[in-house]
Amino acid sequence: MNDQSTIQVGCSSQAVWIRVDGKGSFQNSPGMKEFAREMVNRGYRHFVIDLNRCPVMDSTFMGTMAGIALRLREIGQGGVTVVNLNERNTDLLCNLGLDQIFEISSDTSHSEEVPAEPLAQSPTDKTERARTMLEAHEALVEADGENETKFKDVLEYLKQDLHVSE
């Protein structure tokens, strides 16, 4: 499998569309996080994440997705809809309780009509990558308290790693 993955983004009047082509991972999470933050700042409140060409996701990527949904919940408007999941990605999201904060849908109407362009992935340094990973895992715990035991060691490691590098 090709390790290179890209994220295509586009906006319609109703939503921001994010299409993942390849693995959703800690490598493409910082760019997606920054893009989503900018779109929320511009007033967008609905995000559709299309996983049709995404064979698998790691916990950082899922936590980054959760962070978007939690931010919208904090604002009190909008939400995240995840479409075109394969069985493995459905299991991953459900096992982390993320099906409780996302709308999971098979309706992809108009998804091909949304203009899409590659999301620029600017290089991130070790500190920024660790910060993104920490925020993503904290979002997983916020989304479902049962995730705390699953990611306790990861959270501790990332906190120590950030403390050492700052």
| pLDDT for residue 1 is more than 60 | no
CA distances from 95 to 62, 74, 143, 158, 161 (A): 11, 23, 12, 22, 27
Q: Which long-range contacts (CB under 8 A, 24 or more apart) does 98-107 make?
A: 98/62, 98/65, 98/66, 98/140, 98/143, 98/144, 100/143, 100/144, 101/66, 101/69, 101/70, 101/73, 101/143, 102/65, 102/69, 103/79, 105/81, 107/83
- pLDDT by residue (tens digit) across 120-164? 777 678 888 899 999 999 999 999 999 999 999 999 999 998 887
Percentage of the chain modeled with pLDDT above 90: 76
| pLDDT for residue 2 is more than 50 | no
Residues 6+ apart with CB under 8 A from 62: 24, 92, 93, 96, 98, 136, 140
Q: What is the pTM of this model?
A: 0.91
| pLDDT for residue 50 is more than 90 | yes
Residue 111 in tokens: 């998804």
